[in-house]
Structure 1
Amino acid sequence: MNTAPPPFLLRLIGAGLVVSAGLHALPAQAWSLTVAAASRRVFLHVGNGTADGNNGTVNLVSANLTAAQLLSGTPQAMTSNSTQSTSLYGDGYSTCPTPSTQVIIGASYRRSNPGNGPASATLRVTSPASLTNAAGDTIPFSQISWTVSAAGSSAPNVISAGTFNGATQTLATVPANTYIENCHTFSYANSAIRAAGTYNGRVTYTLSSP
């Protein structure tokens, strides 16, 4: 008699890293806007955050699969423990209406005119090769992908959609004196039956300008 494998929990732990001083909030209406020139600085938030960038919250994206879901081979939507639905850029615009299934990501780069510093900053994400459980079993990070959206925006790909590759990936180039944001919705490919357990992995988002 065949026995269905037990359920397992897949957890993607995301961390945002502010590389330089944070920005103060300014009015915003959508996912991309021009901001006033100022001394050179970058600002990044992933999920729950604060406008000054001083927030140590690390949000969790997860998929808790039943045996039937695991055996189906069907991609599975992942949920989020983020509660951040509104833009951190000052006007409370609801960029991510359902944070339980979305993670809001926003990035800004400022520099003084006529040109104090590089013309842009780069938003990247770094993932390890695999998620692992307590028994040492692994799942390739390439099993997790994400789509992007932004409520009220006609161009939601301001930050790229993609699939983790176990390395560092470039998501966006942020021009000087620009703020961008959108929502990421994650999915587990579920392309193979895995051993039971809770699989954990951590990705880190960075925004930097040389």
Structure 2
Amino acid sequence: MLLGLALAPPLVQAWSLNIAAASRRVFLHVGNGTRDATNTTINRVEVTVPGAALASGAAQAMTTNSTQSTTLYGDGYTTCPTPASQILVGAAYRRSNGGDGPASATLTVTSPASLTNAAGDTLPFSQISWTVSAPGSSVPNVIAAGTFNGGTLTLATVPANTYIENCHTFSYANSVLPAAGTYNGRVTYTLSSP
């Protein structure tokens, strides 16, 4: 996902589905995607801060270019009803009943220390955070909300033969005064099971 330069009230809900045991496999979905094919789409999350609001400390809601509103696993339920302001994140870990791998997989997100503009100016990635939700779900949150830290954050542990997902809504803290420009940076979501 590419972030450019959230504050919705956090709803701590997610979807968690049991999936059939089978040969070992991980499945990760962030933003637009397809269920059973490799997808190289990189969705953008961005905000334009009005001049009068710069460095005011008033958090700025971010928008996305995602169009993915429905789950890619299971029944096609609308998990993210407003994809223009949400990114759908889903992860599945499958293994055989004989236990052909670890009992769980780990979902992480990694960010650089800073976003940069064309002039080389920087803006701390820690200015960007996210809340999580899955409207209508009664399942407790299984993918964490947080703030990028210029390193790797663990978002969830995915038990064997389970699929989890929720929506991430991003915001820019707007508590620093950056040099003028468009700042870019890329975060990487990873699902791994050694």
Q: CA RMSD in A?
A: 1.3
* 1:106-185 correspondence to structure 2 within 5 Å: 106-155=90-139, 157-185=141-169
5+ long unaligned stretches in structure 2: 5-13
Question: 52-61 or 98-107: which moved more?
Answer: 52-61
Partner of 1:49: 33
Q: CA deviation at 1:157?
A: 1.9
1:1-210 paired onto structure 2 within 5 Å = 12=3, 31-155=15-139, 157-210=141-194
Question: Which SS does the other structure have where 2:184 is aligned?
Answer: strand
Change (3 A) 1:190 1:37: same
Tell me the CA shift for residue 156 of structure 1.
5.1
TM-score, structure 1 as length reference: 0.84
The whole-number CA distance in structure 2 between the counterparts of 1:71 and 1:163 is 18
Higher relative contact order (CA 8 A, sep 6+): 2
**What is the rounded CA distance, in whole Å, between the counterparts of 2:159 and 2:56 in structure 1?**
44
Q: For the Cα contact (< 8 Å) 2:108–2:191, is it kept in 1?
A: yes
| In structure 2, C-alpha distance between the alignment counterparts of 1:203 and 1:48, rounded to whole Å | 15
TM-score by length of 2: 0.91
Check whether the contact 1:156–1:182 (CA below 8 A) recurs between aligned residues: no
Identity of aligned pairs, percent? 78
Conserved in 1, the CA contact under 8 Å of 2:106 and 2:191? yes
> Greater CA radius of gyration, 1 or 2?
1
Once the two structures are superposed, residues 91-126 of structure 1 have per-residue CA deviations (whole angstroms, 9 ceiling, x without a partner) of: 220000000000000000000013111000000000
Cα distance in 1, alignment partners of residues 99 and 188 from structure 2: 29
The residue identity in structure 1 corresponding to 2:133 is S
SS in structure 1 of the partner of residue 141 of structure 2: helix
Separation in 1, partners of 2:152, 2:177: 27
User: C-alpha distance in 2, partners of 1:137/1:93?
Assistant: 42
Amino acid across the alignment from 1:138:
T
CA gap 1:68/1:209 in 2 versus in 1, 3 angstroms? same
Instruction: Provide Cα deviations, 1:49-73, integer angstroms capped at 9, x if missing partner.
Output: 0011411100000001120121533
- Find the aligned partners of 1:204 and 1:184 in 2 and give their Cα distance: 14
SS of the equivalent of 1:197 reads coil
The 3-state SS of whatever aligns with 2:27 is strand
Q: Distance in 1 between matches of 2:163 and 2:55?
A: 43
